[in-house]
Amino acid sequence: MAKGKSIFTRAVHAGERGPQPDFKPVSTPIYSTVGFLYEDLEDLDAIFGNNREGYVYTRYGNPTNTALEEALATLEEGEAALTFGSGMAAVHASLLAAGVKAGASLISAYDVYGATYSICARLFPDLGVQVHFVDVTNLEGLAKTFSATKPKAMILETISNPLMKVPDIPTITKLAHQVGAKVIVDNTFATPVLFQPIKHGVDFCVHSTTKYIGGHGDVLGGAIVTSKANRSILHEIIKMTGGNLGPTEAWLTLRGLKTLPLRMRQHCLNAMEVAQWLEGHPRIVRVNYPGLASHPQHELAKRLFPRGFFGGMISFEVKDAGKEEVFRFMEALELILPATTLGDVYSLTLYPAMSSHRALSAQERAKVGISNNLVRLSVGIEEVSDIIEDLERALEKIS
Ligand SMILES: Cc1ncc(COP(=O)(O)O)c(C=O)c1O
């Protein structure tokens, strides 16, 4: 097409839009294109009108994202999935798709990721939503809140950030459905390797794919696994609001996902050993890890997570410590990085009061149970003895 034209025209068009190949690439390429062409404009018209499947514009869908969405739906054993530019974009879209709007009520777990808490405590109430916070481990109280408030939806986490509470999701889902409420579960900490919310009736399974699914700390993203019908609602929302995951990020995430089960196995084995070691250390007063017999929902966790894995996330309280001692401890760590994320191959530590839960007031944090001596640890896949040695040395430094 560009042959015989001016160099200005040839530079723009040469080499593009070659014939359809007769081979299949083994791994999904990055479809780094915004628009898609069809021989016949009728096809474009049909796709815009939702009368046939296809791609028209990357905010509406992109083949690299579709590959990731299919993989996520398969892992979570859901019908369909939609990817987002971040976990928070996915959380926000799930609330909208669940029908949360002005005049409606919403139930949220107290103990959720800080930005999710802020959406529920500030953003949505400002838009006229009545939000009720609950302790998800108190099923009696929760049942009363459901019947008193008749919410449109409830949002909670499989393993909560940062206190590692484990709610009885199958029972909570039944209670919610009895009053017609949709259930949104953020499965970021558990991943489908531990627990598959959709199999327990949950309506929207949300992920920050930035964490375990991507797994390497190099790509931000989010996803929702749900029914085909709910995906159509979410698709209409993303077409209007954007917040899409770029195809390059989708490709990186798909690449990370392939080793999710292998990585999770190592995260979980390491975390169990680290949690047991921390529990026996004189400088540690409390360890929150669902795999420990001392965890208040240990029996429930054993039932919900049949593989016998309890995740890679631990939080613990340092004895006689406040912000200053915790900072000295975190700075003394050499292998474990004080980075504001989790679920990477690297071991990472974080001070929730400073970062993930900073937007909460001191009173809100106290109410949730996030104390000033609480440290969160994302146990990586390094050799576990090296992780423990690092912790031991840093704890010695503050003793
Ligand atoms: C449980 C949980 N959900 C959602 C998010 C938000 O994810 P993102 O940073 O990808 O927006 C986080 C972030 O730490 C998280 O821990």
Instruction: Spell out the per-residue pLDDT of the chain, length 399, in tens.
Output: 678 999 999 999 999 999 888 999 999 999 999 999 999 999 999 999 989 999 999 999 999 999 999 999 999 999 999 999 999 999 999 999 999 999 999 999 998 999 999 999 999 999 999 999 999 999 999 999 999 999 999 999 999 999 999 999 999 999 999 999 999 999 999 999 999 999 999 999 999 999 999 999 999 999 999 999 999 999 999 999 999 999 999 999 999 999 999 999 999 999 999 999 999 999 999 999 999 999 999 999 999 999 999 999 999 999 999 999 999 999 999 999 999 999 999 999 999 988 878 877 888 888 888 999 999 999 999 999 999 999 999 999 998
d(CA 149, CA 249) in angstroms, rounded, equals 40
Task: Check 31, 55, 110, 113 and give the catalytic one.
Answer: 113
Looking at ligand 1, which atom is closest to the CA of residue 340?
14
Q: What is the dihedral of CA 30, 31, 34, 37, to 10 degrees?
A: 170
Residue 366 has what pLDDT? 84
Residue 160 has what pLDDT? 94
The CA 191 to ligand 1 mean position distance, Å, reads 13
Residue 350 has what pLDDT? 95
pTM score, whole prediction? 0.97
- Which residues lie closer than 8 Å to 271 by C-beta, 6 or more apart? 289, 291, 310, 311, 312, 313, 314, 379
The CA 2 to ligand 1 mean position distance, Å, reads 47
Cβ(388)–Cβ(331) below 8 Å? no
d(CA 111, CA 114) in angstroms, rounded, equals 9
d(CA 45, CA 177) in angstroms, rounded, equals 38
Q: Is the CB of 208 under 6 A from ligand 1?
A: yes
d(CA 269, CA 261) in angstroms, rounded, equals 12
Residue 233 has what pLDDT? 98
| Closest protein CA for atom 10 of ligand 1 | 87
The CA 208 to ligand 1 mean position distance, Å, reads 5
Measured at the alpha carbon of residue 307, what is the angle toward residues 220 and 348, in degrees to the nearest 5?
A: 35
Q: Is the CB of 133 under 6 A from ligand 1?
A: no
Residue 359 has what pLDDT? 78
Q: Is the dihedral of CA 174, 177, 179, 181 positive or negative?
A: positive
Q: 348 - beta bridge partners? A: 337, 378
Q: What is the dihedral of CA 267, 269, 274, 280, to 10 degrees?
A: 160
Q: Is the CB of 58 under 6 A from ligand 1?
A: no
Residue 369 has what pLDDT? 87
Cβ(36)–Cβ(66) below 8 Å? no
The CA 69 to ligand 1 mean position distance, Å, reads 18
- Known catalytic membership, residue 186: yes
Residue 180 in tokens:
């017609």
Residue 395 in tokens:
């704890």
Q: Is the CB of 315 under 6 A from ligand 1?
A: no
Task: Check 59, 255, 302, 319 and give the catalytic one.
Answer: 59
Cβ(222)–Cβ(83) below 8 Å? yes
Residue 367 has what pLDDT? 83
Task: Check 211, 263, 283, 376 and give the catalytic one.
Answer: 211
d(CA 26, CA 170) in angstroms, rounded, equals 39
d(CA 267, CA 346) in angstroms, rounded, equals 10
The CA 207 to ligand 1 mean position distance, Å, reads 8
Listed in sequence order, the DSSP H helices in 108-209 are: 114-118, 124-126, 139-149, 169-178, 191-194
| Closest protein CA for atom 14 of ligand 1 | 341
Cβ(223)–Cβ(191) below 8 Å? no
Q: How many CB atoms lie within 10 A of CB 367?
A: 12
Residue 274 in tokens:
């680290």
d(CA 315, CA 370) in angstroms, rounded, equals 10
Q: Is the CB of 188 under 6 A from ligand 1?
A: yes
- Known catalytic membership, residue 211: yes
How many residues does this entry show for the chain?
399
